[in-house]
Amino acid sequence: MKCITINLFLFFMLCFLFIGCNKNPTEKEISKTKLLFNNDSAQDNLLAEYLKELKNPVKSIIDTNWSKRIIDFSELFPVFVDNCTPCHIENGNAPFVLTSFESIRKKARVIREVMLGRLMPPFLADPHYSALVNAPRINDSTRWRIINWIDQGCKAAKQPYNKKIEEYFHTSDRRNYTTYEAEEHTINSNSDSYQCYVIDLGLKNDSFVRAIRYHSTNKSTIHHIMVYLDTANVLKSSPSCFDCMKKDVVNKLVPIDSWSRGMVAYQLSTDFAFKFPKGSKLLLQTHYGNEGNKGKKEKTTLDILYKTKPEREIKFEIANNLKIALPAYKVKTETLTFKPDTAISLIGCVPHMHFLAKKAELFAITNDNKKINILKINNWDYLWQGSYLFKNLIEIPAKSTIYMNVVYDNTSKNLQQPNNPIRDVKYDTYSNEEMMVLCLYTTVLKKGDKTKMPLEILR
């Protein structure tokens, strides 16, 4: 990263010298220099945005002028279907369903609270920044409409729905999945603990995977699961997590997926698949992260959908900034950079940070200095680590650099501040330290990718 900043700085200086020497720069030259990307100012902008929002909290931003017209439930039902049922559905990640008028009315009181506090849907990627499959399209005036409907007594719809109820739910075909089980585990700690599980997939041939679905007997105990593929028979049995992390076992494995309760289940469209070579095993590295878990039992099961011949393979790549240094009582922006080897198309991404992270912006800068938006998260929340899946593939031409800027708030104004007293924080996997990790689902770029939809959400 430093290297890139310094190079950019030199580049700026050279341009400056060049323009300085040439008394009459052409218009083209001037606009070219204006276009030059400067990550320092991108960082500053993100920081300024965060500080402004800190001064004007949620309630004052919500449109209080929303008129008190009578809201008919028929106009809200599609909002619940689109924004809530990826999780609030039978067998979904959420603890109750919101799939009908009755089930929504039953939860109206808490729904009002989560609307007002902007707590649900749980991760607020900016829908104007990039087009995501699983981004909420729920703006503040829609939140206000839901609140008004509740305040008006949660009345049933007077107008008909636009579609028949069953047409709102495109139910995916769940046959043909193969199920695997991890061992049952009794959690032995009341704070962070890790446990590894090896699952032998019993693959006699190279295989291709379109979807992995995660189930657990006790989802609320899990903070997240990192999923690795062992293609070289490194793992004979489930390693202790200490061995797994400290002896660099994971470095010999291929990271392929992750799961947390912020995730929605999806399946790749028929062209795409992950390759699982013959004999591969899976390693699940599970982080149990909540208080009060000691003594609870948890067992994870996986459903895998195999396919025969994909046209395109998907890779899961990880970038890290191990050098983050967050001084006590400071708000600071850090940057992670990643330079793909070739031209790629992005299918999705999974940023990972802890409690100090507040805001994140992810974008690529091409070799000819064009900015490509990837993802902006306006209120990062540690509890809702999730994957962000793009509606269409995002083309990243060769020689581009991907940047992730994150604002970290290590002050007492951060309501999630994990340390008392407040202290300097560095990179570590413990949740009261910080991380800056970016996982990307990529595939080799093909012309016309921007029009391709790579996946569908499973309901």
Least distance between ligand HEC and beta carbon 252 (Å): 32
Q: Is the peptide bond before 121 cis (omega within 30 degrees of 0)?
A: yes
Q: Any contact of residue 87 with ligand HEC (CB under 6 A)?
A: yes
Least distance between ligand HEC and beta carbon 458 (Å): 13
For 430, phi then psi, to 5°, come to -65, 145
Cβ atoms within 10 Å, residue 268: 23
Please write down the long-range contacts of 247-256, taking CB distance under 8 Å and 24 or more positions apart.
Answer: 250/226, 250/283, 250/285, 253/228, 253/229, 253/283, 254/228, 254/229, 254/230, 254/316, 255/226, 255/227, 255/228, 255/229, 255/316, 255/318, 255/439, 256/227, 256/228, 256/229, 256/316
What does the alpha-carbon distance between residue 231 and residue 278 come to, in Å, rounded to a whole number?
A: 8
Q: Any contact of residue 110 with ligand HEC (CB under 6 A)?
A: yes
Least distance between ligand HEC and beta carbon 123 (Å): 7
Out of 46, 50, 86, 376, name the contact with ligand HEC by CB under 6 A: 86
Q: Any contact of residue 117 with ligand HEC (CB under 6 A)?
A: no
- Contacts of residue 227, defined as CB under 8 A and 6 or more positions apart, other chains included, come to 212, 255, 256, 257, 258, 259, 282, 283, 284, 285
250-309 residues in contact with ligand HEC (CB under 6 A) are: 261-262, 264
Residue of 193, 288, 195, 196 lying closest to 237 (CA atoms): 196
| Nearer CB in complex with ligand HEC: 87/241 | 87
What does the alpha-carbon distance between residue 36 and residue 11 come to, in Å, rounded to a whole number?
A: 9
Stretch that binds ligand HEC, among 5-13, 117-125, 198-206, 441-449 (CB under 6 A): 117-125
Q: Any contact of residue 348 with ligand HEC (CB under 6 A)?
A: no
Stretch that binds ligand HEC, among 66-74, 93-101, 179-187, 277-285 (CB under 6 A): 93-101
Stretch that binds ligand HEC, among 8-16, 63-71, 107-115, 445-453 (CB under 6 A): 107-115
Least distance between ligand HEC and beta carbon 78 (Å): 11
The mark string for 36-75 relative to ligand HEC (x by CB under 6 A, - otherwise) is ----------------------------------------
Which residues form the interface with ligand HEC (CB under 6 A)? Answer: 83-84, 86-88, 93-95, 98, 107, 110-111, 114, 120-122, 138, 220, 261-262, 264
